[in-house]
Amino acid sequence: MTTGVQPPTRRRPALVRVASRSVWVWGIVAGTIALALGTWAGGGFREVPEDGLPVIPADALVSLGPFDVAIEGWTVSSSILTSDLEYADAAAWLVIAADFRANPPRSTVFYEDMMTVSALEPVGFAKTVHPTDGTYLTYLHPGVTTPALVLIPLGSSDAATIDDLSVLPVVLGSRVWVAHSLTDEMGWFRTTPRASVQVPRDDSVAELAELAEDAA
């Protein structure tokens, strides 16, 4: 089922928004939303403008170019991948559960500047793992729906702030399949914010995260 994105009739308050530094890989399907593609440079947690962004439900499957994604829920946890937390000197993970499916023409990684939450200052690199066995997720494949847990390391202040929320506003960005300006190699480039997703907290995500930790 395809759902068209319409501009919101009223502005929703922005709480937080995440952007990031490097490339990493991120399901209940209620519909498919086709989004236009544009340009936005990622790299580093930063303010992302929300003016004019459509607001979509958390259970919608959104087509972003390299992949489709449906965000299921989120929580905060300090009991998984604890060695990685200690290495990053982080207090907890922001854990986001989502389903991914890559689009043709090829398999792809997850581009972390395509899923953002505002005003967080990460203390290390994000991790993406399979919820069933705790292994790291590196590639998404066309036609294959892949569940994943996206783990974003937080300092104590950000962890406390996020932990007080009941709804997490996530900004999704899209990319376009074009030739690289220097090498002419085709790829997914030019990220731009396209929609805001209001994701309700779901602490059952922590149970999936615990399963991943046990399997790892």
Q: What's the average pLDDT block by block, 10 residues per block, for the chain (216 residues)?
A: 43 35 30 30 36 84 89 91 88 93 86 78 82 84 90 92 92 86 84 88 81 64
Strand partners, 136: 129
Kindly state whether residue 40 falls inside one of the protein's structural domains. Answer: yes
Residue 39: name the closest of 153, 198, 209, 176 by CA.
176
DSSP-derived 3-state class of residue 35: coil
Reported as type and span, the H/E element at residue 158 is helix 156-163
Kindly state whether residue 43 falls inside one of the protein's structural domains. Answer: yes
Do β-strands 55-57 and 92-102 pair in parallel, antiparallel, or remain unpaired?
A: unpaired
* The pLDDT of residue 50: 53
Q: Can you give the residue range of the structural domain that contains 199?
A: 32-215
Kindly state whether residue 187 falls inside one of the protein's structural domains. Answer: yes
Residue 94: name the closest of 85, 106, 83, 102 by CA.
85
Q: How many residues does the chain have?
A: 216
Structure tokens at 161: 């702030």
Structure tokens at 86: 């200690």
* The pLDDT of residue 162: 93
In one-letter notation, the amino acid at residue 147 is P
Domain count, the chain: 1
**Distance, CA of 169 to CA of 172 (rounded, Å):** 10
Kindly state whether residue 45 falls inside one of the protein's structural domains. Answer: yes
Contacts for 209 with CB less than 8 Å, ≥ 6 apart: 75, 77, 79, 80, 93, 95, 131, 149, 151
**Distance, CA of 69 to CA of 209 (rounded, Å):** 19
Kindly state whether residue 7 falls inside one of the protein's structural domains. Answer: no
* The pLDDT of residue 216: 62
Number of H helices, E strands in the chain: 3, 10
Kindly state whether residue 27 falls inside one of the protein's structural domains. Answer: no
Other residues' Cβ atoms within 10 Å of the Cβ of residue 59: 17
Kindly state whether residue 72 falls inside one of the protein's structural domains. Answer: yes
Do β-strands 55-57 and 186-200 pair in parallel, antiparallel, or remain unpaired?
A: parallel
* The pLDDT of residue 12: 38
Q: Are 151 and 95 in contact (CB under 8 A)?
A: yes
* The pLDDT of residue 214: 65
pTM for this prediction? 0.70
* The pLDDT of residue 212: 66
